[in-house]
């Protein structure tokens, strides 16, 4: 039995900002969903099922909000699934939706991820109370900074690499009309002189807290044929998980991330990711994660990732552009951040990424991770159908 | 959908009112070991793992990440999680097997309601702008539904008492909690966990002498606002049952996720269950009610009846949300 090929035929996202005071949670998700349906030139009646994802319910203070969002997302009378796999959830949600089509359970699925972080304080939402966590950690930065420090020590990377990533992503964000943090006055010096938050991570090397939603319309081969714009085809997709902490865990380059990437490359027949993949949208909430993930995903040998960043390979006009959208550093509605990566990868291979388009992109990787560097979800999308 | 998938093992914890001496992992791990033991598999032989739980019950964000320790996710595993009852985790795993990417799947769910007041906690899943600020609790909403059934002439308190009696209602449980629901009409609140193993085709036949084949499964959601729904009916249950093929042939067993006696009335009508059907031979959610696992347990109990040769064709149902807002129906067969 073969899988039905899955195509991305519609993409929509909100303009991401610190606080969307003008809309309710329902209004926020509906905006992204309608944009995706408009892109696909489909209506609510064309959708067979809705798959929604977001990070912890405490961020908005609504338990299982999909129950309340059923009406806003046109899901009444349809199946509705709610995925939650921590920070990787935006990616996982898209993959769960894609499987509904691959298994031929449904033909057209609306998938959406969101976070309205202005409803609460995400940093404290992420800081678990005692006895679940030691009192030293405040927010995600407190958790990840030691692992960044371990990477620097292990690879011998110069201290300046993190600021290069931040400077690049913040310039890329100026080309993305949906990006939250857009500073036309950005300079490398400004990044380097910004306050130190969690040594070695400076203020301008961290992600913001955003309100935003992202939606995709996925369809089968017949749906792709009817689509008004070129589809992005899912060439491979995978999820991997490992425990939060255990003796022998490699926080710098977790095995779950390596295994997940290897599975995606196997499905897509990729032997040399660095040469064959044209653009990467990777989940980089703190600047240093770009070189770390370049190694983890097989784009560079261990200890060599920072050299790609330093030599400009990951710039928009480089050989392997990373985060032309400005990435998580510029836009971070946590639950949606993974789906935005998946969506931006799809936009690239559809040739519809506007000013942030990478010329001739045919294969793009979308990547997300979450928890204590333990949950990974990725997909590889291409301009060609997988069996074509 | 050409692939045969079956439930080949089912296990559950001893459900307790208060498990404050146990962590989620301690509650879950024996159950996971039990189901894997039933089919002689180890974690590394499972192709896909999927779980269902709620952070709001646990009172902490990412509560499922710690529960993963009970699985032993090393080397790394292909894994997913739904913030829903475990029945929907089973649905996700079933779809994964249908794609051909997995031959086996481990599905689990757990819930610890004891750290909070469940009636208060569940108000947080209502419309956050117009309804949740009023804190209407889950028993009061179920009572509204029960009253609408009585007003429609579909049941009365005497018949509700008969339903409760079938589940061995405690004596002296006839005081009202919220009219017209008495204590015997309302579920106990438990901490507990459950797990099942799914397998495809010949793998299922190898692992289990009488696999419970999933002949169809579907789930549907209704509008959230109670004001726009007819609470005496469950169109989403009927719709899911139709899609799952439940009406194509009679079933001999039905495991219904009806935490309130009155909800059994709604579900029996929606599913057109006659007197010849054994409804909730396990005791149902009126006897054991670990929230977030109680729906998965319905699928597990129905499958276990088939495993034991007590059923040829069984229906299993799970629900989520206030007054049966969202419903899942699966049809399981012995052959």
The tokens for A213 are 């939603």
CB contact (8 A) between residue B76 and residue A256: yes
Do the domain assignments include residue A62?
yes
Residue A132 has pLDDT above 70, yes or no: no
CB contact (8 A) between residue B325 and residue A71: no
Per CATH, the architecture of B5-116+188-207 is what?
3-Layer(aba) Sandwich (3.40)
CB contact (8 A) between residue A81 and residue B84: yes
| pLDDT confidence of residue A124 | 72
Do the domain assignments include residue A91?
yes
Do the domain assignments include residue A33?
yes
The minimal CB distance from B62 to the residues A69, A76, A86 is found for: A86
The minimal CB distance from A58 to the residues B55, B65, B220 is found for: B55
CB contact (8 A) between residue B65 and residue A255: no
Contact list in A for residue B220 (CB cut-off 8 A) is 77-79
Taking the Cβ of residue A62 and every Cβ of chain B, the question of whether any pair is shorter than 8 Å is answered with yes
- How much is the mean pLDDT over chain A? 95
The minimal CB distance from A84 to the residues B83, B219, B220 is found for: B83
Residue B113 has pLDDT above 90, yes or no: yes
Nearest one of A288, A280, A233 to A261, comparing CA atoms: A280
With a CB cutoff of 8 Å and minimum separation 6, the contacts of B158 are none
List pLDDT tens digits, range A193-206: 999 999 999 999 99
Q: How big is the A-B interface in CB pairs under 8 Å?
A: 183
For A80, the enclosing helix (H) or strand (E) is: strand A80-83
Among A107-111, A262-266, B62-66, B93-97, whose mean pLDDT is lowest?
B62-66
Is the separation of the CB atoms in B174 and B271 below 8 Å?
Answer: no
Of all residues in chain A, the one with the smallest CA distance to B53 is A84
SS3 for A196? Answer: strand
Do the domain assignments include residue A44?
yes
Domain residue spans in chain B? Answer: 5-116+188-207, 118-185, 212-333
Distance from CA of B84 to the nearest CA of A (A): 7
CB contact (8 A) between residue B81 and residue A132: no
Taking the Cβ of residue A48 and every Cβ of chain B, the question of whether any pair is shorter than 8 Å is answered with no
CB contact (8 A) between residue A103 and residue B98: yes
pLDDT interval class at B20 (50, 70, 90): confident
Alpha carbons B109 and B293: distance in angstroms, whole number: 5
CB contact (8 A) between residue B128 and residue A85: no
CATH number, domain containing residue A50: 3.40.47.10
Alpha carbons A270 and A249: distance in angstroms, whole number: 27
What 8-state DSSP symbol labels residue B68?
G
The tokens for B119 are 């009636």
List pLDDT tens digits, range A244-267: 888 889 999 999 999 999 999 999
| pLDDT confidence of residue B181 | 97
What 8-state DSSP symbol labels residue B110?
E
Cis peptide before A200 (omega within 30 of 0): yes
Cα distances from B163 to residues A27, A101, A269, B320, B327, in angstroms, run: 42, 41, 59, 21, 21
pLDDT interval class at A130 (50, 70, 90): low
Do the domain assignments include residue A74?
yes
Alpha carbons A268 and A349: distance in angstroms, whole number: 15
| pLDDT confidence of residue A126 | 72
Distance from CA of B77 to the nearest CA of A (A): 5
Alpha carbons A155 and A150: distance in angstroms, whole number: 8
Which is higher by pLDDT, A279 or A132? A279
Strand segments, DSSP code E, in B28-88 are 48-52, 79-82
Distance from CA of A281 to the nearest CA of B (A): 22
Do the domain assignments include residue A25?
yes
- Burial class of residue A363 (count of CB atoms within 10 Å of its CB; 0-12, 13-18, 19+): buried
Best residue in B47, B117, B128, B330 for a mutation probing chain A (most A CBs within 10 Å): B128
Per CATH, the architecture of B212-333 is what?
3-Layer(aba) Sandwich (3.40)
Instruction: Give me the number of domains chain A comprises.
Output: 1
Do the domain assignments include residue A167?
no
Cα pseudo-dihedral B60, B64, B69, B72, rounded to 10: -170
- Burial class of residue B173 (count of CB atoms within 10 Å of its CB; 0-12, 13-18, 19+): middle
pLDDT interval class at B61 (50, 70, 90): confident
| pLDDT (average), residues B181-188 | 94
Range of the domain at A104: 7-120+208-226
List pLDDT tens digits, range A139-156: 788 889 999 999 999 999
Of all residues in chain A, the percent with pLDDT exceeding 90 is 90
DSSP A230-247: PPEEEEEEEEEE--S--T
Do the domain assignments include residue A326?
no
The minimal CB distance from B62 to the residues A243, A260, A371 is found for: A371
Is the separation of the CB atoms in B252 and B314 below 8 Å?
Answer: yes
As beta bridge partners, residue B51 has B81, B108
């Amino acid at each position: 039995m073969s899988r039905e090929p899955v195509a991305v035929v519609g993409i929509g996202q909100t303009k991401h900002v610190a606080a969307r005071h003008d809309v309710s949670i329902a209004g926020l998700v509906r905006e992204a969903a309608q944009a995706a349906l408009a892109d696909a030139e489909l209506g609510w009646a064309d959708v067979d099922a809705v798959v929604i994802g977001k990070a912890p319910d405490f961020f908005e203070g609504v338990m299982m909000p999909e129950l309340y969002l059923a009406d806003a997302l046109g899901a009444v009378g349809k199946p509705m699934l709610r995925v939650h796999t921590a920070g990787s959830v935006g990616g996982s949600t898209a993959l769960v939706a894609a499987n509904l089509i691959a298994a031929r359970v449904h033909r057209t699925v609306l998938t959406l991820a969101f976070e309205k972080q202005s409803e609460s304080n995400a940093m404290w939402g992420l800081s678990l109370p005692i006895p679940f966590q030691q009192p030293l950690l405040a927010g995600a930065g407190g958790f990840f900074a030691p692992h960044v420090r371990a990477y620097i020590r292990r690879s011998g990377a110069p201290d300046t690499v993190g600021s290069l990533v931040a400077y690049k992503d913040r310039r890329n964000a100026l080309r993305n009309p949906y990006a939250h943090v857009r500073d036309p006055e950005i300079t490398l010096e400004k990044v380097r002189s910004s306050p130190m938050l969690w040594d070695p991570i400076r203020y301008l090397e961290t992600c913001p807290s955003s309100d935003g939603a992202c939606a995709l319309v996925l369809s089968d081969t017949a749906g792709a044929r009817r689509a008004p714009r070129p589809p992005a085809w899912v060439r491979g997709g995978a999820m991997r998980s490992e425990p939060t902490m255990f003796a022998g865990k490699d926080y710098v380059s977790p095995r779950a991330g390596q295994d997940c990437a290897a599975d995606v490359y196997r499905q897509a027949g990729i032997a040399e990711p660095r040469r064959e993949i044209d653009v990467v949208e990777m989940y980089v909430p703190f600047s240093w994660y770009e070189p770390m993930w370049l190694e983890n995903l097989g784009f560079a040998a261990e200890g060599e990732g920072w050299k790609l960043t330093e030599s400009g390979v990951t710039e928009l006009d480089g050989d392997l552009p990373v985060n032309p959208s400005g990435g998580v550093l510029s836009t971070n509605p946590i639950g949606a951040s993974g789906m935005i990566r998946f969506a931006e990868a799809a936009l690239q291979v559809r040739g519809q990424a506007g000013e942030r388009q990478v010329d001739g992109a045919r294969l793009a990787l979308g990547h997300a991770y979450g928890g204590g560097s333990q949950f990974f979800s990725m997909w590889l999308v291409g301009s060609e159908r997988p069996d074509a | 959908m050409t692939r045969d998938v079956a439930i080949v093992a089912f296990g559950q914890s001893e459900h307790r009112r208060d498990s404050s001496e146990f962590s989620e992992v301690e509650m879950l791990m024996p159950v996971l070991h039990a189901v894997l033991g039933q089919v002689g598999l180890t974690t590394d032989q499972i192709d896909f793992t999927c779980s269902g739980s709620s952070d709001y019950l646990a009172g902490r964000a990412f509560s499922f990440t710690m529960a993963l320790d009970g699985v032993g996710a090393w080397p790394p595993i292909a894994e997913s999680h739904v913030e829903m009852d475990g029945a929907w985790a089973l649905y996700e795993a079933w779809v994964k097997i249908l794609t051909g990417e997995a031959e086996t799947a481990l599905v689990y769910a757990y819930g610890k309601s004891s750290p909070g007041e469940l009636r208060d906690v569940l108000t947080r899943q209502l419309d956050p702008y117009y309804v949740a600020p009023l804190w209407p609790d889950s028993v009061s909403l179920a009572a509204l539904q029960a009253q609408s059934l009585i007003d429609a002439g579909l049941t009365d308190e005497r018949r509700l008492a008969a339903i409760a009696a079938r589940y061995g209602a405690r004596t002296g449980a006839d005081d009202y909690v919220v009219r017209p629901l008495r204590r015997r009409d309302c579920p106990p609140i438990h901490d507990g966990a459950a797990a099942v193993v799914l397998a495809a085709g010949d793998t299922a036949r190898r692992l289990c002498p009488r696999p419970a084949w999933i002949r169809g499964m579907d789930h549907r959601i209704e509008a959230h606002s109670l004001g726009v729904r007819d609470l005496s009916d469950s169109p989403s249950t009927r719709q899911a049952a139709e899609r799952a093929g439940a009406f194509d042939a009679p079933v001999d067993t039905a495991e219904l996720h009806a935490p309130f006696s009155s909800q059994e009335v709604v579900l029996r009508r929606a599913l057109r269950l006659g007197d010849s059907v054994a409804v909730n031979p396990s005791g149902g959610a009126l006897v054991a009610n670990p929230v977030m696992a109680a729906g998965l347990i319905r699928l597990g109990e129905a499958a276990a009846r088939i495993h034991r040769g007590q059923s040829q064709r069984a229906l299993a149902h799970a629900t989520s949300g206030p007054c049966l807002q969202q419903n899942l129906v699966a049809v399981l067969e012995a052959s």
